[in-house]
Structure 1
Amino acid sequence: MTRREGAVSARRTYIPGCFAIAASFTLLACGSDDEGPRAGLGYEERAVLDVKAFIQTNLDDLASAAAALQAAAPEADEDGWSAAADKDAVDAMKAEWKKARQAYERVEGAIAVIFRELDESTDARYDAFIEASGDADPFDGEGVTGVHAIERILWSDAIPPAVVEFESGLGARYLPAAFPATEAEAKAFKRGLCARLVADTRKMQSDFRGLALDAPSAFRGVIGSLSEQVEKVAKAATGEEESRYAQYTLADMRANVAAGRLTYDAFQGWLLSKEGDAAAVDRAVLDGFERIEEAYAALPGDALPPVPDMWSSGAPTAEQIETPFGQLFSLVQRESDDTVEGSLVRSMIDAADLLDIPEL
């Protein structure tokens, strides 16, 4: 299965042994060398502890948002529900969906490694599910599941034409997105699809709490998430982008990068304790984050910029590259490329190598 498969440009201050960030996120795991369970721990143990606390906080937020989304779903009546007839409830569900999305995108690098099946059931795209098994009932919590299955219903009256064109070409298993149109469908949405998301997110929340996180999952996992940035932009041209129904993919990407920055902050003290190229690698990583954060912050809203007509990621024209979408694509293409010296992903890999963090 192909892996999927806010402007939150969090300004952070590095503090040895902990990390602090702006109000967008929670201050985690900070303390003096003599406080609590951190006392006597080395750089690696402290870094992993910080990242684990950050992931756990976001999994708690994810499970809470999933439960709130389910609770906000309208009570079923004979004609189901819609954005017009049940506007307050639909708006509330959309708000909780965005909270869930932000929480998940901050931790997907590690979750995709640690909980592969739960990651797929929670975050895989419609086309991946359809190719695997189809979906006879979009509301029942079987077949197509997770945040994008719910997103597809909540924004079913505002799906971009390119997305409809792409999905309608998936074959006989494709079903047009729609709000629940009957009492049975409305009940299934709340007690089936939403309940499945609640169950999956609570399992991640619970299972992770007792997990001994390791450095490869914590650090290399987030590198994988950063590497996917270019895919998330490129797929917009064909209607295959990640949060395609809500037009929320740029917000997803901001959350990925914010999580990458937080993870690096946790490991930075350990890196700087090394000799040799550590300072240069640290500078390269920080520069990479600055470039991509500034570019994301300069773009308005939560959606990717409009794709230029006749766009081809393999051979865009000079005129296309000068558009906001073209500039964004060029940036993430470079920063996601592990073969480009000085790119963000290459520099993060260099940091992992200096720390002797094994590959996943």
Structure 2
Amino acid sequence: MYIPACLRSGLAIAAAALSLPACGSDNETLLSDAEYERNAVLDVKAYIQDNLDEFAAATAALQAAAPEPDADGWSATSDEEAVAAMKAEWKRARQSYERVEGAIAVVFPDFDYSTDARYDAFIEVAADDDLFDDEGVTGVHAVERILWADQIPEPVLAFESALPNYSPAAFPATEAEAAAFKDELCARLADDAEAMKTQFRGLALDAPSAYRGVINSILEQVEKTSKAATGEEESRYAQYTLADMRANVAAGEATYEAFQPWLLTKGAEGAEVDKAVLAGFNRLSSAYDAIEGDALPPLPEGWSEEAPTEEQLATPFGELFSLVKRESDDGTPGSLAHDMTRSADLLGIDQLP
């Protein structure tokens, strides 16, 4: 049974003092740094495991929803209900993965690549002329590219079509392609998800992987907005990148909450850093929630990240970009990334190798 950190803290004290203090009581300061660290890591491990369980379930459901192969494959019009079901499961899978990608990139780098690398990263290595099998281009974005093959935005098409080794996205057009999509590409994603779920259960997570990993996902928020200008953004076919970013911030908040009781034992500086981190999360999440839908706002005409005009910065995209750029910069005092790094330093959590 999963027990929250504050209750585990209370139980640890009860074992020594034969009385169970209320969560959040002053008695919690009797715990050692090692005990606070262990409790925080256990909380984060449970959070990651829950999301990996969800990721595995969603990818399996996505594969199961794929239409049975027939002579003309399938498309968004000929198999409308099945495609809608696959898209819904894809979004469920995407949300669960984005909540844990900071840690997964550290503990399962090979799975992170096969599951979450973008199309351009795969074809930079080698051409892939069969987009429906389980070799070459794989993972959530390979499936996404096929599911939204008829809705790919023009900037994305312009970016990808100029790449060496490019092959246009398409629905399965034959029985063989439809069979490969279901039994190879989707099966590979579901198998990788199941492997991560199973292997993570027996893994001994450490504080740097748990905490510094999620800090890295905050640092990368600006990249997700920057690449929108060139058609390289992350969930670019489904126009789901803002939803990705919301999931990243939710993961950051959940991870921080696990370490927060430990930080609050660090006196006045700990309390000050805690207040700053909470304010930073509020700034980001409020800005994301203020935007309708799952896509980033449209780029203003003539957008230049290096030299945006005042008019461009006053647009919804410009305002979002400016905020994310600041909050993701750990060299800027008062930013969320800077204050989360301060909290890790104050707790003595080592940098990732």
**How is 1:149-168 mapped onto 2 (pairs within 5 angstroms)?**
149-168=142-161
Deviations 1:236-279 (A, max 9, x none): 01100000000000000000000000100000000011135111
**How is 1:35-184 mapped onto 2 (pairs within 5 angstroms)?**
35=11, 42-171=35-164, 173-184=165-176
**How is 1:201-212 mapped onto 2 (pairs within 5 angstroms)?**
201-212=193-204
CA RMSD of aligned residues (A): 1.6
C-alpha distance in 2, partners of 1:243/1:110?
19
Name the CA shift for 1:77/1:29 in 2 (closer, same or farther; >3 Å).
farther
2:283 is aligned to 291
The Cα shift of 1:27 comes to 9.2
Structure having the larger proportion of residues in helix: 2
**How is 1:1-360 mapped onto 2 (pairs within 5 angstroms)?**
31=7, 33=9, 35=11, 42-171=35-164, 173-360=165-352
The Cα shift of 1:134 comes to 2.0
| Runs (4+) off by over 2 Å | 26-36, 38-41
Which structure's CA Rg is the greater one? 2
Query: 8 Å contact 2:241–2:295 — kept in the other structure?
Result: yes
Can you give the 5+ residue segments of structure 1 that lack an aligned partner in the other structure?
1-25
The residue matched to 2:301 in structure 1 has which SS? Answer: coil
Can you give the 5+ residue segments of structure 2 that lack an aligned partner in the other structure?
17-33
2:19 is aligned to none
Query: 8 Å contact 1:80–1:180 — kept in the other structure?
Result: yes
Query: 8 Å contact 1:107–1:259 — kept in the other structure?
Result: yes
C-alpha distance in 1, partners of 2:169/2:236?
12
The Cα shift of 1:31 comes to 3.3
Deviations 1:68-90 (A, max 9, x none): 00000000000000000100000
C-alpha distance in 2, partners of 1:33/1:345?
28
Query: 8 Å contact 1:81–1:181 — kept in the other structure?
Result: yes
**Aligned length in residues:** 333
Query: 8 Å contact 1:80–1:181 — kept in the other structure?
Result: yes
The Cα shift of 1:133 comes to 1.8
Query: 8 Å contact 1:29–1:53 — kept in the other structure?
Result: no
TM-score, normalised by the number of residues in structure 1: 0.90
TM-score, normalised by the number of residues in structure 2: 0.92
Structure with larger RCO (C-alpha < 8 A, sep 6+): 1
C-alpha distance in 2, partners of 1:39/1:138?
57
1:20 is aligned to none
The Cα shift of 1:128 comes to 0.3
